[in-house]
Structure 1
């Protein structure tokens, strides 16, 4: 299940950063910004960036998956004059002073996969909930051990997290990974990749409503709580050129409610390849009892556009019949797409990509990945809405 082993490679990403570098994301059109968008120097130096707003401020914090030297790296960015600051500096590791209960469910030294953070008001104070995937105890190497979803809480986003003793969701069969959280009209929803639904190589994504049953605590999810939103049995772009011994991967779900309607952003295909891409599905006015429908003729919505005249590592990718749009900079393998809202109501998105310096899979199966942000624009509504990302 190579799609599930990606963070074993993420741990090899170099965390060295040019401290203090920053710039504002330009407000130009996508076409005018393409030259600048090739530059990676001001992108987050970690993959799977999840951005949250510090309540009642213009400060956002981007948290990333574990990399070399940082278990939970984070970078603070400011929203000013209608744009987000771009910074490559890593401001700290929020996992440095974590507290583990004596009966903690996961390996304390496990890398953290695809973190998501929720700021919630409880008893007149802000509690930060961190959701993450980690490896279960056992003899297997950390990247191959079964992974489940847990959470930790803190009164500050910079650290002091206390891990919950029990996992939030851990199915009897298969892995549970890629937790994300979204606020809706009726509460907070967790989206995830549930390995218990994997059948005949087909994978699936789902959602479950969270119940905060007491301060700094969430009721544990049972096997039947998550409901399936989408699978990739008919999503041919997620199958294209996938090795015959691998699962057919969709992962990294991010459900957002925009203008009263739910949309699901998700990743598909093999994370280490140029063909890894982002899909969008329409889920209706509620996640409950809805099955999300892939948009744009079941093609990848945001993907890398291959360069037939470039160096060999830039030539492979999804063929035209499986692609709709590329993203600013046209980086390889865009995934872990995460939409979020700015203080002025505008929508933005983060995603990670394979750096230009990374070789192709044939030379190194562990490419470096970074994350970037751009403005996300939606026009229209329902299943025919159009999304564009621009600088």
Structure 2
């Protein structure tokens, strides 16, 4: 079952860097260096995969956190928003997991890498509490990448350290894994989206959401299996099946639900993380996130995908065929996934996503390709299931 390998690659594999240009103008910095700012350049992207950006309340500072990389469990980079753009920084400022406190009876392996973290700032009793939600491995004899994973969280009064892990997992189904936690606000509530392995049947996977209840200081009520509501599965999403090996589950993962102009949209990843064909889908969920199922947009094709280069080097030639793709992202990097939309202080929308670096080889030559994360401007035109999303520099 190679589904685990996407997130495992985020922990074993790559350290990261690079980002695009145009709308993302570099701001002056004492550590800044001259670099190509074109969208093919990778030197100023986040040096970790699965970047999730959270605004420090009442400031123009954002904290980007990512999945574990060698030497750092919860790498982070601070970026500023100024003059309509986000600062571009390739440096890692530190490890927010340093000095974490584990309570007695902690539910996961203390040395487990953290997968696809999501940071969330919550006002409690006149102060800001920072929550980081993550996937980690359960104790047992299996190697980290093969052990069952569930979703937990930790809290701190600082965004960049001092975290205390919660003793119990937040969501851990009796059957299958729970991974890819993401948190967003909408409808006056706080929502968790996730991939719930209990819903996997006949290789088909599904994504869902649950409302979070902050029931006391620095604590979230544990979710039952009934709390999670299915939003979408990939039974009819052929692009997520294309060329997937027979031993693999047919993968959708990394859900990110956002409410824009009073409507919910779901961004998600599909196909095999290690391949050029790994792509991003978008679904329309209506005015209520869990009131009904989400509808895949653009004729059930991948919305953002790599456009293969038939004249390029061998590693750039494979990808999804035209019939499964809508458009690509700035720089046209391979395997774009873990797409996350987030608002800037001026009300504009932005997105972050992973990609396979240009230097990485084909899967058969490199079982753990390097993934980096970048940000760019996200624009929506129209509304409902026919809305159009564009990402620009």
When normalised by structure 1's length, the TM-score is 0.96
Q: Does 1:56 align with 2:58?
A: yes
Q: Does 1:234 align with 2:236?
A: yes
Per the alignment, do residues 288 and 12 of structure 1 end up closer, same or farther by CA in structure 2, a change over 3 Å counting? closer
Partner residue, 2:180: 178
Native 8 Å contact 1:15 1:69 kept in 2: no
In structure 2, C-alpha distance between the alignment counterparts of 1:321 and 1:184, rounded to whole Å: 34
Question: Aligned with 1:313: secondary structure?
Answer: helix
Native 8 Å contact 2:277 2:335 kept in 1: yes
Partner residue, 1:383: 385
Partner residue, 1:26: 22
Native 8 Å contact 2:352 2:376 kept in 1: yes
1:81 equivalent among 76, 80, 83: 83
Native 8 Å contact 2:206 2:230 kept in 1: yes
Give the CA deviation at 1:24. Answer: 8.8
Native 8 Å contact 2:19 2:37 kept in 1: no
Partner residue, 1:245: 247
Native 8 Å contact 1:24 1:83 kept in 2: no
In structure 2, C-alpha distance between the alignment counterparts of 1:239 and 1:347, rounded to whole Å: 30
Q: Report 1:196-215 matches (<5 A).
A: 196-215=198-217
Native 8 Å contact 1:7 1:111 kept in 2: no
Give the CA deviation at 1:216. Answer: 0.4
Partner residue, 1:11: 11
Give the CA deviation at 1:27. Answer: 2.5
Q: Report 1:139-178 matches (<5 A).
A: 139-178=141-180
Cα RMSD, aligned residues only = 1.5
Q: Report 1:1-391 matches (<5 A).
A: 1-15=1-15, 25-27=21-23, 36-391=38-393
CA deviations on 1:107-161 (whole Å, 9 max, x unpaired) are: 0000000000110110111000100000000000000000000000000011000
Question: Aligned with 2:91: secondary structure?
Answer: coil
Structure 1 gaps of 5+ residues are 29-33
CA deviations on 1:302-354 (whole Å, 9 max, x unpaired) are: 00000000000000000000000100000000000000000000000000000
Give the CA deviation at 1:185. Answer: 1.4
Native 8 Å contact 1:260 1:285 kept in 2: yes
Question: Aligned with 1:87: secondary structure?
Answer: coil
Give the CA deviation at 1:11. Answer: 2.4
Per the alignment, do residues 272 and 95 of structure 1 end up closer, same or farther by CA in structure 2, a change over 3 Å counting? same
Per the alignment, do residues 51 and 36 of structure 1 end up closer, same or farther by CA in structure 2, a change over 3 Å counting? same
CA deviations on 1:329-382 (whole Å, 9 max, x unpaired) are: 000000000000000000000000000000001101110000000000000000
Per the alignment, do residues 16 and 50 of structure 1 end up closer, same or farther by CA in structure 2, a change over 3 Å counting? closer
When normalised by structure 2's length, the TM-score is 0.95
In structure 2, C-alpha distance between the alignment counterparts of 1:67 and 1:109, rounded to whole Å: 13
Question: Aligned with 1:5: secondary structure?
Answer: helix
Question: Aligned with 1:36: secondary structure?
Answer: coil
Native 8 Å contact 2:16 2:371 kept in 1: no
In structure 2, C-alpha distance between the alignment counterparts of 1:358 and 1:24, rounded to whole Å: 19
Per the alignment, do residues 92 and 35 of structure 1 end up closer, same or farther by CA in structure 2, a change over 3 Å counting? closer
In structure 2, C-alpha distance between the alignment counterparts of 1:14 and 1:56, rounded to whole Å: 33
Question: Aligned with 2:87: secondary structure?
Answer: strand
In structure 2, C-alpha distance between the alignment counterparts of 1:339 and 1:58, rounded to whole Å: 17
In structure 1, C-alpha distance between the alignment counterparts of 2:370 and 2:23, rounded to whole Å: 28
Partner residue, 1:31: none
